[in-house]
């Protein structure tokens, strides 16, 4: 996130922002199926945290537990300073949740939906009305304020849904796959809204299966796979953790291959394919020096390709899904 906007956590001062969400050893199973197998989290106030994982990894369950919808089988968690098990009402008063499916009342108009929230938040009438007007404007649905939510498109429903979540000006917002099923344009609009929220000091807990989304929005990303967090860090940290940025050199002659291997002793060998994988930062200078070294040794490569990692590589490598170019899933130790 751009550092030009200083996050201003609402209720607290001090140098290090306190955790808006912290969890330790969260567990949940349904019958024999373990959905969450010991989740630890710490999300500083005023930041965006993305929980990234494939379908069925346990993202929604994590949100359900932290938002007090479902009780955990084990572990502890605090949200906005309240324990989810012993003070769920305190948690509820501090959070807003926008789930995977728009949670609005189809039979009511957009305006009535927002007023319903204002009533349930026990805002006084005037405050509720002004808040509703403001949110209708901000989310670009003022012109359809008197139309029933049932008639809205997917993108508009999500916007109304998020607007409803914001009526109470929550400290922590949970967004469970907020852009799943949205067209690219609506997705960008949603991203802009999330950025706006964070600029205002709100903590955002986001789940997504889109790597680009996590890359775009999140200060920190945790990769969830099969109920466990397999990696955590900034997008750049995660990218740096897989040997993605490399140049692949192919040879047709095994003698040539061996000579190249001695020029680059650190390179990963693929003896079957007669290919070397030389790590690099993907920059032009690194590439030039690599070619210079090959030249100086008089080695001729039959072909080469440059591979730059993106979060997709991280995701595929960490979650053991599909066949990434990097081969077998990597097992990275977690570091905080």
Partner 1 sequence: MSTFAHAVHDSRTMLRRNLKHAIRYPSVGLGAAMMPILMLVLFVYAFGGSIGAGMGGRDAYIGYLTPGIVVMGVAAGSMSTSIAVCNDMTEGIINRFRTMNITRSSFLTGHVIGSVIQTMLCCVPVVGVALAVGFRSAAGPLEWLAAAGLLAAIAFAVTWLSVALGLISKTVESASNKPLLIQFLPFLGSAFVPAGSMAPGLRWFAENQPFTPMIETLRGLLCGTEIGDDGWISLAWCAGIALIGYLWSRSLFNSDTKR
Which chain residues interact with partner 1 by CB under 8 A?
Answer: 30, 64, 67-71, 89-90, 92-93, 95, 97, 99, 101-108, 112, 116-117, 119-122, 164-165, 168
Task: Name the DSSP letter for residue 149.
Answer: G
Closest approach, Cβ 67 to partner 1, in A, equals: 5
Residue pair 261/267 in contact (Cβ under 8 Å)? The answer is yes
Give the nearer residue to partner 1 in terms of CB position, either 58 or 233: 58
φ, ψ (nearest 5 deg) of residue 35: -95, -40
Q: Residue 10 contacts by C-beta under 8 Å, 6 or more apart in sequence?
A: 171, 201
**Nearest of 113, 107, 79 to residue 93 by alpha carbon:** 79
Residues 6+ apart with CB under 8 A from 147: 109, 110
Q: Minimum distance from CB of 141 to partner 1 (Å)? A: 17
CB of 306 to partner 1, least distance (A): 45
C-alpha dist (Å) from residue 78 to 60, 65, 81, 108, 192: 17, 11, 6, 34, 28
| DSSP conformational letter for 101 | S
Task: For partner 1, give the closer residue by CB, 166 or 294.
Answer: 166
Nearer to partner 1, 104 or 316 (CB): 104
Q: How far apart are CA 221 and CA 214, in angstroms?
A: 7
- Shortest CB 2 distance to partner 1, Å: 30
What is the rounded distance in angstroms from the CA atom of residue 201 to the CA atom of residue 7? 5
Residue 147 structure tokens: 């139309």
CB of 34 to partner 1, least distance (A): 16
**Joined tokens for residue 78:** 């605090």
Q: CB-wise, 103 or 199, nearer to partner 1?
A: 103
**SS3 call for 74:** strand
Which residue number, 165 or 207, has a Cβ lying nearer to partner 1? 165
CA within 13 Å, CB half, 241:
24
CB of 29 to partner 1, least distance (A): 12
Q: Report, in Å, the least distance between residue 175 CB and partner 1.
A: 13
Residue 167 or residue 223: which is nearer to partner 1 going by CB? 167
Terminal Cα-to-Cα distance of the chain (whole angstroms)? 19
User: What's CA 28's distance to the chain center, in Å?
Assistant: 21
Closer CB to partner 1, 82 or 241, in the complex: 82
């Amino acid at each position: 996130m751009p550092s030009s906007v200083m996050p201003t956590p609402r209720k607290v001062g001090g140098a290090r922002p306190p955790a808006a969400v912290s969890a330790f050893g969260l567990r949940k199973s349904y019958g024999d199926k373990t959905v969450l197998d010991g989740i630890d989290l710490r999300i500083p106030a005023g930041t965006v945290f993305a929980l990234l994982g494939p379908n069925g990894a346990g993202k929604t369950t994590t949100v359900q537990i932290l938002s007090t919808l479902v009780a955990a089988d084990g572990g502890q968690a605090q949200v906005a300073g309240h324990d989810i098990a012993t003070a769920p009402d305190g948690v509820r008063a501090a959070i807003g949740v926008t789930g995977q499916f728009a949670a609005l009342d189809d039979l009511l108009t957009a305006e009535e939906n927002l007023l319903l929230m204002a009533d349930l938040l026990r805002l006084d009438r005037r405050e509720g009305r002004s808040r509703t007007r403001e949110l209708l404007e901000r989310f670009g649905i003022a012109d359809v304020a008197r139309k029933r939510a049932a008639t809205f498109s997917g993108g508009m429903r999500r916007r109304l849904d998020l607007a409803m979540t914001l009526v109470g000006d929550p400290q922590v917002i949970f967004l469970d796959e907020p852009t799943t099923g949205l067209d690219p344009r609506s997705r960008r609009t949603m991203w802009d809204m999330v950025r706006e929220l964070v600029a205002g000091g709100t903590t955002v807990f986001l789940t997504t299966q889109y790597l680009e989304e996590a890359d775009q929005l999140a200060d920190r990303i945790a990769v969830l796979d099969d109920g466990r967090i397999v990696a955590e860090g900034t997008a750049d940290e995660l990218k740096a953790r897989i040997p993605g940025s490399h140049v692949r050199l192919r040879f047709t002659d095994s003698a040539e291959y061996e000579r190249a291997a001695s020029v680059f002793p650190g390179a990963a060998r693929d003896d079957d394919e007669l290919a070397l994988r030389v790590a690099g930062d993907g920059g032009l200078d690194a590439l030039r020096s690599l070619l210079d070294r090959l030249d100086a040794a008089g080695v001729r490569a039959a072909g080469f390709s440059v591979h730059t990692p993106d979060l997709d590589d991280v995701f595929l490598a960490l979650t053991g899904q599909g066949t990434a170019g990097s081969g077998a899933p990597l097992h990275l130790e977690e570091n905080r």
